[in-house]
Amino acid sequence: MIAFVLRRMAASVVTLLLLSVTIFLLVRATGDPARVYAGAEASEEEVAAVREDFGLDRPLPVQYASFVTDTVKGDLGHSIQFRQPVFEVYMDRLPRSLILATVAFGLSLVIGIPAGVLSAVRPGRWSAGVFRAVALTGVSVPNFVIATTLILVFAVKLRWLPTSGSGSIKQLVMPSIALGWYFAAAMMRLTQSSMLEVMRGEYVKLARLKGVPEWIVIGKHALKNALIPVLTLAGVNFVVMVNVAVVIEQIFAWPGIGDLVYQGITLRDFPLVQGVVLMAGFMVVAVNLIVDVVYAVLDPRIRLER
Amino acid sequence: MAVIATRSTTTDSADQADDEAGRRPRPPWGRLRVLLADAPTGAIVIIAALAVVAVFAPWLAPHDPLQPVPGALSTTGPAWETGNWDSVLGTDFQGRDILSRVIYGTRISLAVGLAGTLVAGSLGLAVGVVAGYLGGLVDQVLMRIVDAWLAIPALIFAVFLAMVFGNRLGIWSIVIILGAVFWTRYARVLRGEVLSLRERDFVRLAQVAGASRWRIMRRHIIPNVANTWMVLASLTVGVVIILEASLSFLGIGVPPPAPAWGSMIAEARIPLMAGKWLPVAAPAVPIALTVFAFNLLGDWLRIRLDPTQRNL
Amino acid sequence: MRTRLWRAVAAFGLLAAGCGSGDSSAGQDETSTPESVAQVVEVTTPQAGAERSSTTLGERREPAGKVVYGWHTALSPAWLDPQESGNVITAYGFNMAIHDSMIKHFPGDQLAPSLAESYEIADDFMSASFTIREGAKFHNGEPVTADDVEFTYLNYRGTQAQLFKDRLDRIEKADARNITFYFKEPFLDFLILYGTPATGIGWIVPKAYYEQVGPDGFKQAPIGAGPYKLVRNTANTELELEAMPDYWRKGPAVKTIIYKIITDDATRFAALQTGEIDLMNVVQGQLLDAAKNDDRIRLTQRSTTAFWLEFPGWEKPDSPFHDVRVRQAISLALNRREISDAETGGFAKIDTGNWGAPDLIGALQPDEIKPEWYEYNLEKAKQLMADAGYPDGFEVPQLTPLAPYYALAERVITQLAQIGIKTSLNRIERAAFVEALTKGPDALPGIILNISGLNGDMAARWRAFATCEGPSSRTCIPELDAKFAQYEASTDPEERDTLMAELQTSFNDQYVFPYVYTLGLTMATGPRIANNPDDIWFSIPQFPYVFPWEDVELKP
C-alpha cells in the first residue's frame, strides 16, 4: 500500500514538473510582455527598463529555474496588471470560485444522482424521459445561452434575482445553475449507466434470489457499488468546475479564477496566467492522487495495476 | 464528459474463447451487420440530414451568408413578424440572413467538430498505442506528458492556446487547438486497452512468429482498439462543438465573418437581452441536435460494441 | 497653438450644444445658438501669459445616499495612481473622483484652476507659477503643499515623463503654497500637457504617504485630494468611495459611490434595467432600441473620436494601395450613413472628415474639412478602381481592427467588397494589436482599422501614428516628417497652427488615413439621478464619463 502511494506521488511530481515546463514555454511564446506593459508609445529605453524590472532579460533556463524554486516557496511571481503577488491575487479570488463551484457541485450531485438512479431503476416511467431531456439540454446547449436566458427571465422580466455580482446568496443562484447544469447531466448519465451495470451483476442477482427486498437491493447493494466510480469522477469534476467557469464568471461579473485567467491572457499578464494555470494543474493532480488512493483503498485490485 | 476514468477491465468472453483456440478475434467490421439491426435511427437520420445540408448548402441557402440582405442593416424580425418572406428567420445584427447563415454554418461546425475529433483521435491513438505496446520508459514518459496536459482543464487550455497562437491559419487554427486539447483523453484510455491487449495470445503468437513491433501494432493492436476509438470519437464530437461555441463567445473561435453556429450565438446574446430570442434559437437548435445525435450514437456504440466499457 | 486652442475649445462648445441627446426630456437647450456658446468660451480662453484665479465655490452639504456606477472595462489598479498615467482616458474615470489636479477642465470652464487657487504662465513660456488653494487637504487630513506638487512632478513616471524631465530647469518654492517651474526653453505645450488628461503630472499625490507605502502600496490604497476617497476595493471588481464633505469646490451630495465593474454589455444593461446601477457606461448599439423604449432610462449621446483606415506598406510601388486613386476609391466606397445608422441608430457623425476630431487641440476645424474626404459615391469609386488598373478589385490578406470594434470592421469589409476588394477579419485582442502596431508595417499586413483615445493634442497623435519614427506608425512620408520637425521647433503659435493644418490637409488629400466615421458613445442614466444627464456626461472635452462627481445628486 505504501509503495503504491509513493509511486503515485512520484508520478504526480513528475507530472507537475512537465506541466510547469509546458506552461512556462507556451506563455513566453505569446510575445514580448514588456512592450505591451510599457505601452505602444513607450520608447525603447522605457521598454528595456520594464524588461529589467521584471527579470525578463535573463536567459530562459535561468528564468525557468527561478520560476520553479519560487513556486515551491509559494511565490508565483508578481502580477503585471494587479501590481500584487500573483499568489495574493489568486487567493483573493479563489474563495469565490470555490463557493460557486461548491454550490454548483452540490446541485449536480443532488439532482444528478437521484435522477440517474431513478432512470436506471424505473426506465419506463415518464420521469426518466423528463430527466433525459434535462440532461440532454445540459450537455447540448452552451452554458452561456442558459446563463443569458436565466438573466433575461429571472432578473429582467421577473425581478426575482439580481443580474450579477457576488456577495449575496441571491446572486449565487443563477450562476450556479448555469454552471452546474452540465455536470448534473453528466452525473445523471454516469449514475444511470453505472447503476444499470451493477444491477446486472452477479452480486445483485444473488441478493434478489435470496429474496432480499428490492429497495434494499437497490439502496444498499447496488447504489453503494455504483457510486464508487461516480464519486471518484465527481472529485475531479469539482476541480474542473472551479477552474473552467470562465464564461459564467464573465457573464455574471463573478470575480473568480476563470475571470482572472481570461483577464490575464487578454492583457498579456504572463506571471498571472502562469500562476493560475499552474494552480489549476496542481489542483487536478492533487485531487487525482487523492482519488486514486481512495479508490485503491476501496478496491484492492487497483493496487496491483502498474 | 469532463474526465474519463481509466480503469477499464475488459472481459470479453468471445475473445477468451478465441484465445484458447489460438485464433485472432474477428475484426470489428464483421460484426457490423449484426449491430445495425438495432441502430438508433433517429440519430442516424439527423446526422445524415446534417451532412446533406452541409454538402448542398449553396443550393439550399436563399442568400449569401456573408452579405447583408438588400435593405437590411441590422437585426430584423422573422418573416411572420415583418411580412418579408425573403428572409424567413430574419437577419442578424449585420443584416445577414439568419437561415442562410445557419445552413452554411453546418459546414463549419461539422467540419470543425469532425476534424478536431480526428486530429485529437489520431494523435491520441498513435501515442496511446505506442505507449501501451512499447511499455517501459517510453510508456512512462508519454503518460506523464499526457497526465500533465490532462491536468489543465479543457476550456482554460483552449483559451490559452487560442491566445498564444491566434488565428494564423483561420479555421484550421481552431481545429489544431481542439485537437491539442482533447488528444490526451484518447491516449489515456486507448493505452489502457492496449496494455491488456498486449498480453493476449494472438499478440504473443505474432511476436513469436517474428513480426516487427510496428507490424503488430498496425495489424493487431490498432484494429482491436477501433471499437473504443469509435465510441470515444462519437462522444467527443459534441464536446468539441460546444467548446468551439464557448471560444467564440470569448471572441477567440472561428474568425468572423464565417457563420459558425457558436459565433452566431455569441453575437445573438445582445438582441436576446432586448427580448429577441430567434437569433439565439436559430443556431442553438442545430447545435443541440448535432450534439444530441452524436451522443446517442456514441451511447449506442458504447453499449453494443463493448457493454463492459461502462466508464466511458 | 493659441488660435487652434481657441477654435478647438469653441468647436467643443458647438459639439456640446449641437449634438442632441437621445431621449433626454429635461431641457436640452435647443435654443442656444453657436454665437452664444462661442461667446461663453471666448471669455475663458487662456492666452500666453494667461493668469487665472477663479473662486466660484459651491455650498457645503451633508452627503447622503448611494449611487452605483456601472463600469464597462476591467480595472487595472495602475489606474488609481496618476503617477503612472498612460494614454488611456479610461483611467481618468477613476482619477476624477479620487484625485484632483492643479488645473482642470470644468463644465463651461476650461483649464480652470482647481487644486491651484491661481496660476500664471509667463509670456515667454519659460516659467509657470502656481498658488495652492488655501485649506486644500488630502484624504488623510494632510494639507496639500508645494512639496507635494514638486514631488509629483519629479517622481512622475507616466506618459511624457521624459519630456517633462528634459524641459525642466529648476523648481522654486517660495513657501508652502507657492511654487514655480522654470524651463530650459519655451515650453508652449506645458499648459495643455499639465492641465488636461494628456498626462497625470498635474494630479497631485501626497509625498510622505507615497514614499511610505511605495508605488504598489499606493495603488492598493490610494490617497488623493479629490471629492471622494476610496474605502474599499473588492477584487478589482467593485470600488466603494466615500464623500469628502470639505472638498473645496463644493460638498458632494452623494455619500457613497460604488463603481461596479460589469464588462459584459448585456449584463450591464440588464443591471441598469433592474435598477442595480444608476449610471452606466456605453450602451451597445443593438440595445439602443430597448433603452429608448424604457421610460426610466435617459440616454446621452456624443460622437467623439474618429475611426480611420491604414494601409501598411502603401509607400512601396508594388503595393496595390500605392496608387492614390485606390485609396480614394476606398474612401468613396464607405457608406458612412449606413454604418452610423446600423451601429448607433444614426446619431454618430459621419462628416468629421479627419482622423482627429475637431475638439482635439490642433486638429482641423470644420471649415477646413473638404467634403470629398467623407463623400460616398460608389460609381466614382468603381471608376477610380478601373482607372488605377483594378477593375475587378484585388484580394487583401486581412483587415485588422482595434478591439473590440469587430462589428464595424465586418461592415467595412462588406462595403469594400462592393468595389472588388476582398478580405476577411483578423480578430486579435487589444494587447496583441497594440504590440503589433509597434512592430512596423510588416506586422499587420493588409488593412488596419484604427481609432485612438490618445490624450493631448493633434501633434501627439501625429507623433505617434504618422511620423516615420512614430512608435505606432506604419507610415513614412519624409516631406511631412520634415514639416513636423519644423512644427516642433517653432515657438510661434501662429506658425505652428499653419503647419499643423498643412500637415493634416496634405495627408487627407492623399487619403493616407481615410476617415471612416466618428465613434458614437451612448451613456445611460437611471431614474434615481436628479441631474440633467447632459450636465454630468461629456461635460468636459475629451472625457466621456461622469464628471464632476461633487455635482451628482439623487432625487429625494
Q: Which ipTM was obtained for this model? A: 0.76
Q: Which residues contact C483 (CB under 8 A, 6 or more apart)?
A: C499, C502, C503
Those of residues 228-247 in B touching chain A at CB distance below 8 A are 238, 242, 245-246
- DSSP one-letter code for B255: P
Those of residues 178-217 in B touching chain A at CB distance below 8 A are 195
Q: In whole angstroms, what is the distance from residue C329 CA to residue C390 CA?
A: 11
Task: Please provide residue C298's backbone torsions phi and psi, each rounded to the nearest 5 degrees.
Answer: -110, 135
CA distances from B261 to B80, B266, B279, B294 (A): 23, 9, 11, 17
Of C78, C11, C88, C9, nearest to C46 by C-alpha is: C9
Q: Are C98 and C229 in contact (CB under 8 A)?
A: yes
Q: Do residue A145 and residue B280 have CB atoms under 8 angstroms apart?
A: yes
Q: Which residue of C has its CA nearest to A161?
A: C274
Alpha carbon of B89: minimum distance to chain A alpha carbons (Å) = 19
Buried b (16+ CB within 10 A) or exposed e, C287-318: bbbbbeebeebbbbbbbbbbbbbbbbbbbeee
Reduced to 3 states (helix: H, G, I; strand: E, B; else coil), residue B309 is: coil
Q: Do residue B75 and residue C410 have CB atoms under 8 angstroms apart?
A: no
Alpha carbon of B29: minimum distance to chain A alpha carbons (Å) = 26
From the list A43, A96, A151, the residue facing C267 with the nearest CB is: A151
Kindly tell me the burial class for residue C108, based on how many C-beta atoms sit within 10 Å of its own C-beta (0-12, 13-18, 19 or more): middle
- H-run or E-run covering A291: helix A270-298
pLDDT at residue A306 is higher than 80? no
pLDDT at residue B97 is higher than 80? yes
From the list B74, B95, B251, the residue facing C286 with the nearest CB is: B74
Q: Do residue C407 and residue B275 have CB atoms under 8 angstroms apart?
A: no
| Residues in A touching C237 (Cβ below 8 Å) | 165-166, 253, 255
Q: Which residues contact C41 (CB under 8 A, 6 or more apart)?
A: C6, C9, C10, C12, C13, C110
From the list A18, A30, A140, the residue facing B288 with the nearest CB is: A140
Buried b (16+ CB within 10 A) or exposed e, C152-161: bbeebebbbb
Region B14-29: what's the mean pLDDT? 46
Q: Do residue A136 and residue B280 have CB atoms under 8 angstroms apart?
A: no
Cell numbers for C455, please give them: 490624450
Task: Please provide residue C294's backbone torsions phi and psi, each rounded to the nearest 5 degrees.
Answer: -95, 115
B288 lies within 8 A of chain A by CB? yes
Q: How many CB atoms lie within 10 A of CB B295?
A: 22
Q: Do residue C286 and residue B94 have CB atoms under 8 angstroms apart?
A: no
Look at the block and give the residue holding cell 464597462: C72
pLDDT at residue B12 is higher than 50? no
- The subunits that touch chain A, with at least 3 C-beta pairs less than 8 Å apart, are B, C
- The pLDDT of residue B37: 56
Q: Which residue of B has its CA nearest to C266?
A: B270
Tell me which amino acid residue C229 is. K
- The pLDDT of residue C102: 93
Could you tell me whether strands C254-261 and C238-243 are parallel, antiparallel, or unpaired per DSSP bridges?
antiparallel
Cell numbers for C37, please give them: 456658446
Which of A21, A22, A144, A146 would best serve as a mutation to test chain B binding (most B beta carbons within 10 A)? A144
Q: Do residue A81 and residue C216 have CB atoms under 8 angstroms apart?
A: no
Tell me which amino acid residue C320 is. P
Give the highest mean pLDDT range of A259-273, B210-224, C2-16.
B210-224
Q: In whole angstroms, what is the distance from residue C351 CA to residue C359 CA?
A: 14
Q: In whole angstroms, what is the distance from residue C528 CA to residue C308 CA?
A: 38
Q: Are C19 and C37 in contact (CB under 8 A)?
A: no
Q: In whole angstroms, what is the distance from residue C183 CA to residue C191 CA?
A: 13
Alpha helices by DSSP H, listed for C169-323, are: 190-195, 207-220, 265-274, 288-293
Q: Do residue C424 and residue B255 have CB atoms under 8 angstroms apart?
A: yes
B312 lies within 8 A of chain A by CB? no
The residue that leads in pLDDT, B22 or C288, is C288
The per-residue DSSP string of C391-421 comes to TT-EE-S-EEEPTTTHHHHHHHHHHHHTTTE
From the list C263, C274, C464, the residue facing A250 with the nearest CB is: C263
Torsion of CA B128, B133, B134, B138, to 10 degrees: 20
Q: Which residues contact A304 (CB under 8 A, 6 or more apart)?
A: none
Q: Do residue B152 and residue A277 have CB atoms under 8 angstroms apart?
A: yes
Q: Model's pTM, two decimal places?
A: 0.76
The C-alpha angle C465, C469, C475, rounded to 5 degrees, equals: 50
| Residues in A touching B164 (Cβ below 8 Å) | 26-27, 29-30
CA distances from A34 to A57, A267, B159 (A): 10, 11, 22
**Tens place of pLDDT per residue across chain C (556 aa):** 334 444 544 444 444 433 333 222 222 222 322 222 222 222 233 344 556 666 567 788 889 999 999 998 877 777 889 998 766 677 888 989 999 999 998 888 888 899 998 999 998 889 999 999 988 999 999 999 999 999 999 999 887 788 899 999 999 999 999 999 999 988 888 888 898 887 889 999 999 999 999 988 898 899 999 999 999 988 778 899 999 998 988 889 999 999 998 887 888 888 898 888 999 998 888 788 888 888 899 999 988 888 999 998 888 888 889 999 999 999 999 999 988 888 888 888 888 888 887 777 788 888 888 888 999 999 999 999 999 999 888 988 888 888 778 888 888 988 888 888 888 787 776 666 766 776 677 778 889 998 887 666 788 788 878 888 776 777 888 888 888 888 888 878 888 888 889 999 999 999 999 999 998 889 999 999 999 999 999 888 778 899 999 999 998 8
Q: Do residue C266 and residue B270 have CB atoms under 8 angstroms apart?
A: yes
Q: Are C223 and C139 in contact (CB under 8 A)?
A: yes
- The pLDDT of residue A46: 67
Task: Please provide residue C110's backbone torsions phi and psi, each rounded to the nearest 5 degrees.
Answer: -80, 155
Q: B63-67, B170-174, C199-203 — which is least confidently predicted?
A: B170-174
Report the largest interatomic distance among the alpha carbons of chain C, rounded to a whole angstrom: 73
A263 lies within 8 A of chain C by CB? yes
Interval A22-75: pLDDT, tens: 887 776 665 565 665 555 445 667 677 777 776 777 777 887 887 788 777 877
Task: Please provide residue C211's backbone torsions phi and psi, each rounded to the nearest 5 degrees.
Answer: -70, -30
The alpha carbon of residue A152 and the mean position of all alpha carbons in its chain are separated, in whole angstroms, by: 27
pLDDT at residue B13 is higher than 50? no
The per-residue DSSP string of A122-133 comes to -TTSHHHHHHHH
- The subunits that touch chain B, with at least 3 C-beta pairs less than 8 Å apart, are A, C
Cell numbers for C62, please give them: 451633508
| Residues in B touching C341 (Cβ below 8 Å) | 73
Which of B91, B249, B270 would best serve as a mutation to test chain C binding (most C beta carbons within 10 A)? B270
- The pLDDT of residue C54: 60
Q: In whole angstroms, what is the distance from residue A275 CA to residue A87 CA?
A: 7
Identify the bridge partners of residue C69 per DSSP, sorted by sequence position: C259, C279
Look at the block and give the residue holding cell 517622481: C155
The per-residue DSSP string of B185-229 comes to HHHHHHHHHHHHHHTSHHHHHHHHTT--HHHHIIIIIHHHHHHHH
pLDDT at residue B17 is higher than 50? no
% of chain A beyond a pLDDT of 90: 2
Q: In whole angstroms, what is the distance from residue C294 CA to residue C291 CA?
A: 5
Q: Do residue C472 and residue A82 have CB atoms under 8 angstroms apart?
A: no
Alpha carbon of A287: minimum distance to chain B alpha carbons (Å) = 10
